[in-house]
């Protein structure tokens, strides 16, 4: 009786797991990723790609490259914004001085240097963004190629010092 119950339970779990598995491909449409005509959020895409070991490795590389690109690009944006604010403030002071009849001379280096530095930092992050996109595309291609092969469940039974375990991966 126990064997029949265990066998029925395994078959039942296999049936539900097979229905829960979604092996349809991920496609890029209008700069967004879709699966079964449903738009995927970043978290959905992450969980889908991390579910397969073949695509998880590439996804992690893409995420690391993206993080590396974020640091100089954020610093560069801050520098450019700072230079722009300084330039606007200096222009407002010059306009106020001219309206008062004063001769105004300005120091251009106050805003040119931060803007150039910021532009260089932003440009230095672009190669990492390109590499990140390539690895993300490769992760999606790996997922799509392995999702076409079909459903391959793996069941393992192991005995350890403190008991027995039955694991089922899908």
Inter-CA distances, 148 with 16, 26, 145, 169, Å: 20, 11, 6, 18
- Could you tell me the pLDDT band of residue 96, with boundaries at 50, 70 and 90? confident
pTM (global) more than 0.95: no
pLDDT of residue 18: 41
Q: Taking residues 69-88, what's their average pLDDT?
A: 93
Q: What is the largest CA-CA distance in the chain?
A: 103
Residues 109-167 have pLDDT tens digits of: 778 889 999 999 999 999 999 999 999 999 999 888 876 555 556 677 777 777 777 77
Is-contact 90 111, C-beta < 8 A? Answer: yes
DSSP 8-state assignment for residue 52: S
Q: Which of the two residues, 4 and 105, has the higher pLDDT score? A: 105
- Could you tell me the pLDDT band of residue 17, with boundaries at 50, 70 and 90? very low
Q: Taking residues 64-86, what's their average pLDDT?
A: 94
Highest mean pLDDT among 44-53, 72-81, 144-153, 154-163: 72-81
User: Burial level of 15, CB count in 10 A (0-12/13-18/19+)?
Assistant: exposed
pLDDT of residue 132: 94
DSSP 8-state assignment for residue 39: E
Inter-CA distances, 150 with 25, 67, 87, 153, Å: 12, 33, 60, 10
Residue 82: CB atoms within 10 Å: 15
């Amino acid at each position: 009786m126990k064997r029949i119950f265990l066998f029925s339970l395994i078959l039942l779990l296999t049936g539900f797991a097979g229905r829960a598995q979604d092996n349809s491909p991920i496609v890029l449409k209008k700069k967004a990723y879709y699966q079964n005509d449903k738009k995927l959020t970043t978290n959905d895409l992450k969980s889908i790609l991390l579910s397969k070991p073949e695509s998880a490795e590439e996804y992690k590389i893409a995420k690391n490259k993206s993080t590396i690109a974020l640091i100089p690009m954020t610093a560069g944006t801050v520098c450019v914004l700072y230079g722009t604010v300084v330039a606007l403030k200096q222009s407002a002071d010059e306009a106020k001085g001219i309206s008062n009849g004063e001769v105004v001379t300005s120091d251009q280096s106050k805003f040119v240097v931060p803007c150039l530095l910021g532009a260089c930092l932003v440009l230095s992050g672009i190669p990492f963004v390109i590499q990140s996109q390539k690895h993300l595309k490769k992760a999606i291609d790996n997922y799509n190629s392995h999702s076409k092969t079909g459903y391959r469940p793996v069941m393992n039974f192991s005995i350890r010092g403190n008991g027995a375990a039955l694991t089922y991966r899908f």
